[in-house]
Amino acid sequence: MPVIVGLESLVDPTQSEDFVQIVGEMLSVTRSAEACQGVEVATDIDNGGRTLLIEHRKTLANREGYLAMRTKTDSSAKIGQMVTAAPTVTYTELQSV
């Protein structure tokens, strides 16, 4: 069943634009991952420091390997310095109603 992965990051609002730019540059690798069906980035209208990355995946298979690869990049270190709290990750499935 398809899965939606949500990654909420809280960033210093003065660095929000730079954060989104760096994340955007990293997404080509995410989009090329086998299970990825699409990925988007959204920023909170009322809190410019709150950023959501929403990834649509066919399955969670191989997610752990992908995350391990991701944490070893220089860009991950850069964005890690911009966040003000640990990111929150959620895994959800769409329901037919």
How many Å apart are CA 41 and CA 48, to the nearest integer? Answer: 13
Between residues 2 and 92, the one the model is more confident about: 92
Provide φ and ψ at 92, rounded to 5°: -130, 155
Contacts for 65 with CB less than 8 Å, ≥ 6 apart: none
**Quick one: pLDDT at residue 44?**
94
**Quick one: pLDDT at residue 52?**
95
**Quick one: pLDDT at residue 75?**
65
Which CATH number, 2.60.120.620, 3.40.50.12780, 3.40.50.10790, 3.30.70.100, labels domain 3-92?
3.30.70.100
Neighbours of 27 (CB within 10 A): 15
Which of 42, 31, 39 has the alpha carbon at shortest distance from 5?
Answer: 39
Domain spans in the chain, listed from the N-terminal domain onward: 3-92
pLDDT per residue over 8-66, tens digit each? Answer: 999 998 999 999 999 888 888 888 887 889 999 999 999 989 999 999 988 887 677 77
| pLDDT score of 6 more than 90 | yes
- Note the pTM of the prediction, 2 decimals: 0.82
pLDDT per residue over 63-90, tens digit each? Answer: 777 777 666 666 677 888 899 999 999 9
